[in-house]
Amino acid sequence: MSPNPAGASRPRPVPRPRRGRENTRGWWGILRACLVVTGMAVAASTAVCALVAGAAAAASAVLGGGLVVALSAGTLAVTAWAWDHAREQAIPLTLGAFVLKLILFGVLLGVVPTPGWVMAVPAGVSALVAVVVWQGAEMTVFSRTRRRIYD
């Protein structure tokens, strides 16, 4: 007997999940991945700055990249917490955290005096590396997140 008699529809194969690359921890998994990948990128940019321009450049790179990582992690942690505890408020809380991050960053740049040892180029390059890598990691891991959105 034929496995597919005439007129019967053949069931479609179910795609197998990519378990090694799939994020099953939701926003907390996204946060973890972003911290790991961006931390490695900031460490690499710090090492390059140290080799090219010395210890002050390396310290500046740590400051610039670390500030971006800290502020981005804070925003994503608020998102993760809101998704777990107050899902209906997740979007307003995330937007509020984002606006607060921008205000805090502006205050830090405008009001807090720059220490004499900070070099602008290494700090800026490391901050830019951190932003680009963070966003890339966040989009990549988010696209691999498997969570039900609606209950």
Q: What is the pLDDT of residues 71-91, one digit of tens each?
A: 999 999 999 999 999 989 999
pLDDT at 94 over 70: yes
> Residue 16 domain-assigned?
no
pTM: 0.80
In a domain, residue 54? The reply is yes
**Total domains present in the chain:** 1
Task: Pull the structure tokens for residue 80.
Answer: 């993760």
Residue 59 lies in a domain: yes
Does a structural domain hold residue 9? no
Residue 15 maps to a domain: no
Strand partners of residue 23: 145
21, part of any domain: no
Q: Which domain holds residue 72?
A: 26-143
17-76: pLDDT as tens digits: 555 678 888 899 999 999 999 999 999 999 999 999 999 999 999 999 999 999 999 999
